[in-house]
Structure 1
Amino acid sequence: MDSSKPYVICHMLGSVDGRIKQDIWGFKDHHKYFEETAEKIAADAWLVGRVTMQEFSSPTTPDLNNTVIVSREDFVALKSATYAVVIDPSGKCFWDTNMVSTEHVIEVLTESVSDGYLEHLRNNKVSYIFGGKDSLNLELVLRKLRQLFDIQTVRIDGGGHVNGSFLKANLIDEFSLVLAPVADGTIGTPTVFEAEEGYGNRMATQFKIKSVDRIYDDFLWIRYLVVRDSVNSR
């Protein structure tokens, strides 16, 4: 493992046809299948995309008409035992606090965000790091999380586009899948990994099984390790 970046575990709840949870699955408490297994994965931080994190952030849009120029330097508001990291390139999550439950918030931004948004984060003591000028370099993001916050293990909690971005960048070390005993069958609904249209120039990512457990009667919890040299590995 690359010791300059955190160990990355992607954790998801998926159907047998690779879909992400939908209401038609018919489970009474779908949250527990994901959350109770996630709690058993030792990690210093969990990471999600902007859409997912907006469930936890402030519903109020603040006044961002700030005239102060804020330098594009990473901002460490405080050090914590655990962190909640959001991939938010354009700065669309707003905050009344710098915590989600017991985790300190870290915003992952591009340098294209406004000065007003950075001032908003600083005023609320929300940490932030820059992953690039106009687009994110996810490897750089991971290295900064390790260097600035001493994060050793990151658990990625989706959704599909965030998972796919890290998969495409070959930055996932382990995949934890709670396999639900259901076939969704809906064409066009989100899948566990949404990397890109078509095949591009990449090869599919291969895994080897780390462990398999039968849970909640008919669910499987499968943990895979990524096969780094996956070309012609089978």
Structure 2
Amino acid sequence: MKQNKNRPYVVCHILSALDGNISGSYFMMPELQPVQEAFARIRADYQCDAYLAGAVTAASIYADGFLDEEEIEELEAARIYPRETYVADPQAQHYAVIIDTEGSLRWNKGHIKRAGMPELHMIEVLTENVSDGYLAMLRRAGISYLFAGKERLDIGRFLETLKKEFGVNSLMITGGGMVDWSFLQAGAIDELSLVLSPLAGGETDKATVFDRSDYLAENVPAAFSLLDVRKVEGDGIWLRYVPKNRR
């Protein structure tokens, strides 16, 4: 496969139920555990430099939830910060990259260590209309940030900046569904790694592998080419696809 040398290689690695849901009541079922373990092993085998998530996913696994309205109003900055990349830890080797364009997450630390993963340094992906008070909070918490557009996320600019400023050569997208769909629409996914669990929740209000975004000007159906199919523990299936629109 030809690789775009101006940006990282992007893998979308997702654990899903048979109904396409990537969250929901089926996560409480004991039958999911062996499939989850296979999913984690596959994730580690990719050895990506960085892991990307949307704000909703990040609020539960990386950040301390979302700021409330009162906290947002109280954010203050002693200066106006330039809208340019800020590197809080030049020595970091692995990253958690969070798309939080308007600056909504609450942070108190710039690194996190999760089971089965290397220590990750936080990078927030913002647009230029974020407040100076929020930038001041990120700096106090020791969190890096970059800008990827004035008001809307420019995925191409984001990926090029991530490689140029942070040296990221491989990026794993871990959800949620709107992030997955937005990157797919931009032709910015090089490989889809989909682990299917033999479970279903049937819930219609949960995120799926790909969820259309109202923020996109167009939502175009996508086609894929099959790379590989393997059975994994717990009667799960590991599917690997290449999107036909990758650029």
**1:26-81 CA-partner distances (Å, limit 9, x unpaired):** 52255535433322222000000011111221359565122421111111122321
Aligned to 2:178, what secondary structure does the other structure show?
A: helix
Q: Distance in 1 between matches of 2:145 and 2:218?
A: 32
Alpha carbons of structure 1 residues 59 and 166: separation in structure 2 relative to 1, 3 Å: closer
Matched, 1:179 2:169: no
Matched, 1:38 2:43: yes
Q: Distance in 2 between matches of 1:94 and 1:196?
A: 24
Alpha carbons of structure 1 residues 189 and 95: separation in structure 2 relative to 1, 3 Å: closer
Unaligned runs of 5+ in 2: 114-118
Equivalent residue in structure 1 for 2:16, among 11, 14, 17: 14
Alpha carbons of structure 1 residues 147 and 207: separation in structure 2 relative to 1, 3 Å: same
Letter in 1 for 2:245: R
Instruction: Give the % identical residues.
Output: 36
Letter in 1 for 2:171: V
Query: How far apart are residue 20 of structure 1 and its match?
Result: 1.5
Q: Distance in 2 between matches of 1:58 and 1:187?
A: 27
Higher helix share: 2
Equivalent residue in structure 2 for 1:48, among 49, 53, 64: 53
Pairwise mapping of residues 82-101 of structure 1 onto structure 2 (< 5 A)? 82-101=94-113
Query: How far apart are residue 166 of structure 1 and its match?
Result: 0.5
Residue matched to 1:232: none
Letter in 2 for 1:96: N
Query: How far apart are residue 133 of structure 1 and its match?
Result: 0.8
* Greater shift in the superposed pair: 25-34 or 132-141: 25-34
Q: Distance in 2 between matches of 1:25 and 1:131?
A: 34
TM-score normalised by the chain length of structure 1: 0.88
Q: Distance in 2 between matches of 1:117 and 1:184?
A: 38
Aligned to 1:161, what secondary structure does the other structure show?
A: helix
Alpha carbons of structure 1 residues 25 and 66: separation in structure 2 relative to 1, 3 Å: closer
TM-score normalised by the chain length of structure 2: 0.84
RMSD: 2.4
Letter in 1 for 2:21: R
Aligned to 2:56, what secondary structure does the other structure show?
A: helix
Unaligned runs of 5+ in 1: 230-234
